[in-house]
Amino acid sequence: MRHDPLHQPIATAAAPGKFILHGEHAVVYGVPAIACPVDGVQATAQVFTKDTPGIVVDAVDLNAQIRTQTDLDHPLSLATNNLLTHLGISAPPGLTVKLQSTIPIAAGLGSGAAITTALISALAQALGHQLDAATISNLVFEIEKLFHGTPSGIDNTVVAYAQPVWFIRDKELTPLKTNIPFHILIADTGIASETVTAVAGVRQRFEANPAQYQAYFDAIADLSHKAKASIETGDPSALGPLFNENQRLLQQIGVSNAALDALVSAATQAGALGAKLSGGGLGGNMIALVTQDTIDTVTTALQQAGATRVIHTYVQ
């Protein structure tokens, strides 16, 4: 679906990617997690008027046009129709939403949450409403359930608020104050990471051995608390050893793989202060804590070790 360049959008919105600093998987079981936005990649939505009634979502990256009044089972239709229900709108005007994203799909960077956040935010604006972050997060969470089965809610939360957060499932989130900003490299294995598969696998192993897995989760909780303290007190370098220990625990709960382990090893050998997988695992991304002086060296090492993409983000 093409748009006349002279036909200006009536509303626009953007949403960042996200990465989990600490607490992935364990967060599903009530353990605190820290998540941060990735400003280097984002999803964008532009809303245009059209002559015929109804809303069409032009998902450019999927090369698909979703008619939300007839393609009822599509997640983007469900997101749109849930928004209309929330706003009390039964007969929407003619609108086209152009969706684009630079966030890698199935890589643990919250691409689904970002796309849905941008869609809901832009559409609400076009329909004359300014939704707060909490409302957007709740609407996005309903769609996250379709993608991830039993999601923690952390993706929709950090993406909708677009700031670092301290997150405990079913509790009020806390914005995280970074006393001293720090550098993170995010490296993609190139292997699609289906979060729903990884989460289901951990649940099966937890149910088979609850005492052992609870011990893993308790240890991850301790690391999350220590990471929060190091960020808030202005000692981000202390995150390095915490990353390394968290990676060891994630290996033990069965969500790392050879590609992730290789990138973690390459990063630490090249001078990263610490490294770990981030997100669902079984592929997707890892993160490395670096300094201004080691960004280029570690980036090169990650690329040589097989990373298909390396993103630098500055957490502040």
The DSSP-derived string for 217-237 is HHHHHHHHHHHHHHHHTT-GG
Whether the per-residue pLDDT at 69 is higher than 50: the answer is yes
Mean pLDDT of the chain: 92
Ordered by where they begin, the domains of the chain are 11-174 (3.30.230.10), 178-315 (3.30.70.890)
pLDDT band at residue 172, thresholds of 50, 70 and 90? confident
Q: Is 155 a catalytic residue?
A: yes
85 Cβ neighbours under 8 A, 6+ residues apart = none
- The rounded distance, in Å, linking the Cα atoms of 81 and 90 is 9
- What is the DSSP code string of 141-181? HHHHHHHHSS--SHHHHHHHHTS-EEE-TTS--EEPP-SS-
CA nearest to 126, candidates 10, 37, 39: 10
pLDDT for 4 equals 53
Whether the per-residue pLDDT at 106 is higher than 90: the answer is no
Question: Are 213 and 206 in contact, with CB atoms under 8 Å apart?
Answer: yes
84 Cβ neighbours under 8 A, 6+ residues apart = 90, 92
pLDDT for 1 equals 47
Question: Are 57 and 70 in contact, with CB atoms under 8 Å apart?
Answer: no
Q: What percent of the chain has pLDDT over 90?
A: 76
Q: Which of 39, 71, 155, 188 is catalytic?
A: 155
Average pLDDT over residues 218-230: 97
pLDDT band at residue 152, thresholds of 50, 70 and 90? confident
CA nearest to 55, candidates 25, 88, 23, 97: 97
pLDDT for 174 equals 85
